[in-house]
Amino acid sequence: MSVYAVNKFCRTVVHDQTFRESLRTEPQAALLNAMPPLADDELQALLRGDIGWLSRHGCNNFMLHNLGRFEVLGLDLPTFAARMRAEYRVERESWKRTGEWPERDAGGAAPTTLSEG
């Protein structure tokens, strides 16, 4: 697990249209060509779109969200967000109980297809 390779992979998704297209048509081949090389467990997690596992192992959540934004590896933003919530369900409930995080929703103001930053 290198983390850096995954974060760099996510950055390449944002900036390299050719790589994005190859990722959509031949995901395994594209992942095998990623530089620096991905570790096998990273590659398998990416193929599964398992952003929860990648987040748990220290990959950058902001960088990971780009996989949903660019709709690669079976993800889109709602799917990405649902998997992130599911991965951290226990913590989210704990944060709500303790008042550490006063969760509320976006109030319908921000369409789910949009991305801020």
Partner 1 sequence: VPHNPHFPIIAEQDTDLGREVTYMYGQVADRMQACAADSVVFFTSDHYNIFFDTCVPIFSIGVADSTRGPSDYPDLPKYDLRLDPVLARHLQSQVVAAHFDVGMSQEFAVDHTVISPLHFLTPGLTVPVVPIFVSGFMRPLPTAQRCFEFGRALRRAIEEFPGDRRVAVVASGSISLEIGGPRIFEDHHTGVPDPQWLDRVVDLLAEGEFGKLVAHATDSQLARAGNAGGEILDWITMLGMTDPAPPEYLDVQPRFGHAFAAWSPTDGGRR
- Pick out residues in 68-107 that bind partner 1 (CB under 8 A): 68, 77-78, 80-81, 84-85, 87-88, 91-92, 95, 101-107
Contact (Cβ atoms closer than 8 angstroms) between residue 18 and residue 10: no
Asked if omega into 111 is within 30° of 0 (cis), the reply is no
Pick the closer one to partner 1 by CB: 46 or 64: 64
Residues that bind partner 1 (CB under 8 A): 4, 7-8, 11, 14-15, 17, 55, 60-65, 68, 77-78, 80-81, 84-85, 87-88, 91-92, 95, 101-110, 112, 114-117
